[in-house]
């Protein structure tokens, strides 16, 4: 390759081979080992270290993709990829990303990308409908859930501590700002608090009940204590689907407390939000519409490829008060309101890629009925696994299944017998056995789980987030665990 540009013919030809390799990858994703047996040393050797003065051919570049990158990475589209909160990356979204890069739209303001900006506003309106929030709400796509949480808390801070904070900084504020989230909240909340100068020590970790949902009495006590101590409680964060167990906090009750104490209510719905489309759990989202801000992640349960998070604000004016900054190069000259619109007034970024295209294509291309069925199907898989575990004597559940996350552990026969004889406390041994089992399962490559700590017990944790996953995969998961466990005994 000797130039940066490609002729239309070259683009077509090379593009077709690139698309062919993605198609082959997708067609075989369920058959490939889910996790590679490799090392960083091997990968670095295979990548080669030379930056050449002369360009390499496209077939050489694609060969590296096909022969090194694809085999030596985790297969996130595999139906038994249950680790973390991982979307498979729906093919429609893959094509949308290609098209978006093709026109290289930059969604700063309407004048820079008129049709992409209107498509993003339309798509955000659809997400609002899906979540049942106020039609007057507004929002934008960001890189992911961590950025969405950061944006929501940034707005909460200015809205509750006053506009001086923007110019004079948190250190000029007379009282410590305090924020409330359950002990189960995602770590991006504490991270946002430290980045925003609130301090992670000022995030009060509210205990949860036996279903891992925020304890409302303890929330109220904690806020009242801070008020008495002269602090300024400003925000409560509710989780709509915690990362460890999938619990949805009591949103309506939290909204009530937020109103009572004049706090901003932010909901981290990054994992669970789109499950509002699933009829069997939609009632759990009552109260969501009362939130002042909601963080979402289309690159989780809308099955979009990385990356795409989203933040919604009930009152967009509050977001402008936080993010709008004047500069000559961003001044919008002589335009009507719709055309004068700029996303930089509502979020932390200026240049932004065209993330809306993949969300729009997935929503419009698949339709809400298919999406709702897929999400409901994922929840059904998690419930089925729970049934299988409860009916077995070599596994036990460690938390109830609320959405599509399941937490359980393996009980080897020797430890069961020890426990029955009352020989000794087996808790620590069980933790060790399950930790070893998890690592061995991940290396085995047929199923992939991650871990969680549930009441100090090491849990095998899975999250069903792939429309390709079936109840048979849940059976295979338990078979894989038994097979791998036998090799460790
Ligand atoms: C509940 C919750 N919030 C926030 C995040 C952070 O999202 P992201 O990884 O997109 O930054 C996650 C990620 O798993 C999550 O589960």
Ligand 1 centre from 242 Cα, in Å? 9
Ligand 1 centre from 192 Cα, in Å? 12
Reference 87, options 145, 44, 45; nearest CA is 145
66-89 pLDDT, tens digit per residue, is 999 999 999 999 999 999 999 999
The response to whether residue 341 sits with its C-beta less than 6 Å from ligand 1 reads no
223-272 pLDDT, tens digit per residue, is 999 999 999 999 999 999 999 999 999 999 999 999 999 999 999 999 99
Task: With a cut of 90, say whether residue 166 has pLDDT above it.
Answer: no
62, 117, 328, 354, 387 from 100: Cα distances, Å: 21, 12, 28, 6, 43
Q: Answer positive or negative: Cα dihedral of 451, 36, 297, 474.
A: negative
Task: With a cut of 70, say whether residue 334 has pLDDT above it.
Answer: no
The response to whether residue 322 sits with its C-beta less than 6 Å from ligand 1 reads no
Strand extents, DSSP E, 308-449: 309-313, 395-397, 405-410
The response to whether residue 238 sits with its C-beta less than 6 Å from ligand 1 reads no
357-387 pLDDT, tens digit per residue, is 999 999 999 999 999 999 999 999 999 999 9
- 278 Cβ neighbours under 8 A, 6+ residues apart: 372, 375, 376, 379
The response to whether residue 372 sits with its C-beta less than 6 Å from ligand 1 reads no
Per-residue confidence (pLDDT) for residue 172, from 0 to 100 = 83
Task: With a cut of 90, say whether residue 437 has pLDDT above it.
Answer: yes
Query: Which atom of ligand 1 is nearest the CA belonging to 147?
Result: 11
Which pair of structure tokens corresponds to residue 285? 């989202």
Residue, of 172 and 387, whose pLDDT is higher: 387
Reference 410, options 386, 391, 393, 387; nearest CA is 393
| Residue in this structure with the two tokens 């602090």, named with its chain if needed | 231
Ligand 1 centre from 267 Cα, in Å? 12
The mean per-residue pLDDT over the stretch 441-449 comes to 96
The mean of the pLDDT values for the chain is 95
Distance CA(112)–CA(105), nearest Å, equals 8
The response to whether residue 309 sits with its C-beta less than 6 Å from ligand 1 reads yes
Ligand 1 centre from 286 Cα, in Å? 21
Reference 151, options 349, 356, 357, 352; nearest CA is 349
The response to whether residue 85 sits with its C-beta less than 6 Å from ligand 1 reads yes
Per-residue confidence (pLDDT) for residue 76, from 0 to 100 = 97
Please give the span between the terminal C-alpha atoms of the chain, in angstroms, as a whole number.
Answer: 55
The response to whether residue 301 sits with its C-beta less than 6 Å from ligand 1 reads no
Q: Name beta bridge partners: 267.
A: 238, 294
Using CA positions, which residue lies closest to atom 9 of ligand 1?
A: 145
Distance CA(245)–CA(405), nearest Å, equals 6
pTM of the model: 0.96
Report residue 326's pLDDT band, with 50, 70 and 90 as the boundaries. Answer: confident
Per-residue confidence (pLDDT) for residue 423, from 0 to 100 = 66
270, 272, 348, 450, best to mutate for ligand 1 pocket (most atoms within 8 Å of CB): 270
Per-residue confidence (pLDDT) for residue 272, from 0 to 100 = 98
The response to whether residue 405 sits with its C-beta less than 6 Å from ligand 1 reads no
Strand extents, DSSP E, 138-183: 138-142, 177-182
85, 182, 298, 407, best to mutate for ligand 1 pocket (most atoms within 8 Å of CB): 85
- 19 Cβ neighbours under 8 A, 6+ residues apart: none
The response to whether residue 236 sits with its C-beta less than 6 Å from ligand 1 reads no
Per-residue confidence (pLDDT) for residue 424, from 0 to 100 = 65
Task: With a cut of 70, say whether residue 333 has pLDDT above it.
Answer: no
Ligand 1 centre from 415 Cα, in Å? 35
The mean per-residue pLDDT over the stretch 319-337 comes to 75
The response to whether residue 345 sits with its C-beta less than 6 Å from ligand 1 reads no
Task: With a cut of 90, say whether residue 1 has pLDDT above it.
Answer: no
Report residue 328's pLDDT band, with 50, 70 and 90 as the boundaries. Answer: low
Query: Which atom of ligand 1 is nearest the CA belonging to 84?
Result: 14
24, 81, 397 from 459: Cα distances, Å: 35, 17, 9
Ligand 1 centre from 210 Cα, in Å? 23
């Amino acid at each position: 390759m000797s130039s940066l540009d490609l002729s239309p013919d070259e683009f077509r030809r090379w593009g077709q081979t690139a698309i062919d390799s993605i198609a082959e990858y997708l067609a075989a994703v369920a058959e490939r080992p889910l996790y590679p047996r490799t090392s960083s040393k091997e990968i670095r050797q295979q990548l080669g270290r030379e930056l050449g003065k002369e360009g390499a051919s496209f077939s050489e570049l694609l060969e590296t993709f096909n022969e090194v990158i694809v085999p030596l990475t985790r297969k996130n589209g595999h139906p038994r990829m249950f680790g973390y909160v991982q979307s498979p990356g729906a093919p429609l979204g893959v094509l949308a990303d290609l098209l978006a890069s093709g026109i290289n739209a930059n969604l700063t303001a309407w004048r820079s990308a008129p049709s992409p900006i209107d498509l993003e506003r339309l798509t955000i309106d659809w997400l609002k409908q899906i979540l049942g929030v106020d039609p007057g709400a507004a929002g934008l796509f960001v890189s992911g859930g961590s950025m969405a949480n950061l944006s929501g808390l940034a707005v909460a801070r200015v809205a509750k501590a006053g506009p001086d904070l923007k110019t004079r900084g948190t250190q000029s504020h007379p009282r410590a700002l305090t924020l409330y989230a359950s002990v189960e909240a995602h770590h991006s909340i504490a991270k946002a608090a430290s980045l925003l100068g609130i301090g992670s020590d000022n995030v009060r970790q509210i205990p949860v009940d036996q279903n891992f949902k925020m304890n409302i009495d303890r929330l109220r006590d904690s806020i009242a204590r801070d008020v008495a101590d002269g602090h300024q409680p400003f925000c409560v964060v509710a989780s709509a689907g915690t990362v460890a167990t999938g619990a949805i906090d009591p949103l309506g009750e939290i909204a009530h407390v937020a109103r009572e104490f004049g706090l901003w209510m932010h909901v981290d719905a990054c994992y669970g939000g789109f499950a509002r489309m699933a009829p069997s759990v939609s009632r759990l989202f009552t109260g969501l519409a009362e939130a002042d801000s909601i963080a979402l992640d289309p690159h989780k349960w809308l099955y979009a490829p990385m990356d795409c998070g989203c933040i919604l604000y009930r009152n967009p004016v509050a977001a402008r008060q936080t993010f709008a900054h004047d500069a000559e190069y961003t001044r919008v000259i002589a335009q009507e309101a719709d055309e004068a619109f700029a996303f930089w007034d509502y979020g932390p970024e200026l240049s932004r890629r065209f993330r809306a295209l993949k969300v729009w294509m997935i929503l419009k291309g698949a339709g809400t009925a298919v999406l709702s069925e897929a999400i409901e199907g994922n929840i059904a898989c998690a419930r089925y696994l729970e049934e299988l575990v409860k009916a077995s004597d070599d596994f036990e559940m460690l938390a109830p299944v609320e959405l599509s996350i399941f937490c359980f552990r393996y009980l080897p026969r020797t430890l069961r017998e020890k426990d029955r004889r009352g020989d000794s406390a087996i808790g620590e041994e069980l933790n060790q056995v399950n930790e070893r089992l998890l690592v061995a399962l991940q290396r085995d490559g047929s199923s992939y789980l991650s871990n969680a700590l549930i009441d100090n017990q090491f849990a095998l944790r899975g999250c069903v987030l792939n429309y390709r996953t079936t109840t048979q995969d849940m059976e295979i998961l338990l078979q894989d665990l038994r097979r791998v466990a036998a090799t460790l005994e």
